[in-house]
Amino acid sequence: MMATAAVFRAALALSLAIPPAAAQRLPWSSIDPKAAVALRAFRQTDHWVAEALEDNYDGERLGRHTEERRSYNFDPASDLRYRVVGMRQGAPPAVFLLFEWSPVRGNARPLASSCRKS
Amino acid sequence: MIRLARISVCIVAMTIQPASAQRLPWFGVDPLVADALGALRETDHWIATAIKPFHPPTVIEGRDDGAAIPSFDPTQHLRYRLVDMRPGTPRAVFLLLAWHSISGNGPSPGVIMQQVVTAAGRRWHIACEFRDYGLSLTLLDRRSHGWRHFRVASGEYGWRPATFTPDAPLPGGAPEGAMECVPLVLTEFPP
């Protein structure tokens, strides 16, 4: 009796958890948390790129685009490229951060820095 | 002739990497998502106001360590998803602002940004606001006006043509083809 109830309950839980066949469950995407932590650590340094990232190029508009001109302030959603790479076995992965951002790049190649947890 | 051959061999040797080398693409947020976030920031929507950055960082009064109020940081606080909601239309962008400053310990606010193709070009339109915990979103099989229903923490949503664009009032109302998502079944939360 107890076993039947348990099976029934498990079946109910399962049927609630599994969406119908046609439904599709999608995970949310985000930037790799390792890259986010590395960027935050990099921003604490006195590196000239880190200092440039904090500058406000937009005046009062603070990151908002206008019809005349797009925002120049650093926006990781559009200006950051990254890659988390295992460079040596047994060591924490290195995080490559690439700043495809005109204030530090001009029209030259983008700037890269590599951060490692230490 | 020999010199030319030597040069070409040299070029080939430089372009072909050794077999064990590994070429990796860079990662980044999809440009369409970055564009949608930029468009949201331009509006007067309360989320746009809440994620407005501080410059210079605002220091909390009375704290010796000079702790600054953090600004919204897309690398930590943004969840997103590009979804094909209706064949033949640009993909809708789900943006979830998973940031404690605006969500507290409840589900985070999010918006769906729809790209509307008009004669004047492409324009962004806020289709609706919802709330979710940031684990997953479910696309359902049902459709209205060809647009797929979906379910997030704040309930199940359907679609209808939009009559206006929230927080970006236009003289002519919403552009043609703009859609609005409306809650159909409210889920009680927190459970």
Residue B10 has pLDDT above 60, yes or no: no
- The first and second tokens of residue A47, run together, are 């590196």
Query: What sections of B16-147 are H helices per DSSP?
Result: 31-42, 46-50, 74-77, 100-103
Using the Cβ of A20 and the Cβ atoms of chain B, whether some distance falls under 8 Å is answered with yes
Q: Looking at residue B101, what is its pLDDT?
A: 85
pLDDT confidence bin for A114, thresholds 50/70/90: confident
B118 - beta bridge partners? B121
- 3-class secondary-structure state, position A106: coil
Mean pLDDT of chain A: 80
- The partner residue sitting opposite B29, judged by closest CB among A33, A73, A77, is A77
Average of per-residue pLDDT across B139-155? 94
Whether the Cβ atoms of residue B121 and residue A67 lie closer than 8 Å to each other: no
Q: Structural domain boundaries of chain A?
A: 30-53+73-118
Residue A7 has pLDDT above 80, yes or no: no
pLDDT confidence bin for B126, thresholds 50/70/90: very high
Mean pLDDT of chain B: 83
- The partner residue sitting opposite B141, judged by closest CB among A23, A36, A39, is A23
- Give the Å distances, CA to CA, from A28 to A95, A107, B68, B82, B112: 22, 34, 29, 9, 13
pLDDT confidence bin for B97, thresholds 50/70/90: very high
Average of per-residue pLDDT across A8-32? 71
Which positions in chain A touch B24 (Cβ < 8 Å)? 83, 85
Q: What b-and-e string marks burial along A47-85, b requiring 16 or more CB atoms within 10 Å of the CB?
A: eebeeebeebebeebbbbeeeeeebbbbbbbbbbbbbee
Using the Cβ of A62 and the Cβ atoms of chain B, whether some distance falls under 8 Å is answered with yes
- The first and second tokens of residue B147, run together, are 């647009």
Q: Which of A27-31, A58-62, B56-60, B72-76 has the lowest mean pLDDT?
A: B56-60
Question: What's the pLDDT tens digit per position in B28-84?
Answer: 999 999 999 999 988 889 999 888 876 655 655 665 565 666 778 899 999 999 999
Upstream peptide bond of B31 is cis (omega within 30 degrees of 0) = no
Between CA B188 and CA B86 the distance in angstroms is 28
Using the Cβ of B171 and the Cβ atoms of chain A, whether some distance falls under 8 Å is answered with no
Between CA A14 and CA B145 the distance in angstroms is 32
Average of per-residue pLDDT across B117-137? 90
Percent of chain B at pLDDT > 70 equals: 74
Q: Looking at residue A21, what is its pLDDT?
A: 55
Q: Looking at residue B166, what is its pLDDT?
A: 67
Using the Cβ of B65 and the Cβ atoms of chain A, whether some distance falls under 8 Å is answered with no
Average of per-residue pLDDT across A61-87? 84
| Percent of chain A as helix, strand, coil, to the nearest 5 | 40, 20, 40
pLDDT confidence bin for A9, thresholds 50/70/90: low
Residue of A26, A28, A100 to mutate, interface with B, max B Cβ within 10 Å? A28
Which positions in chain A touch B92 (Cβ < 8 Å)? none
What burial class does residue B60 get, using C-beta atoms within 10 Å of its C-beta: 0-12 exposed, 13-18 middle, 19+ buried?
A: exposed
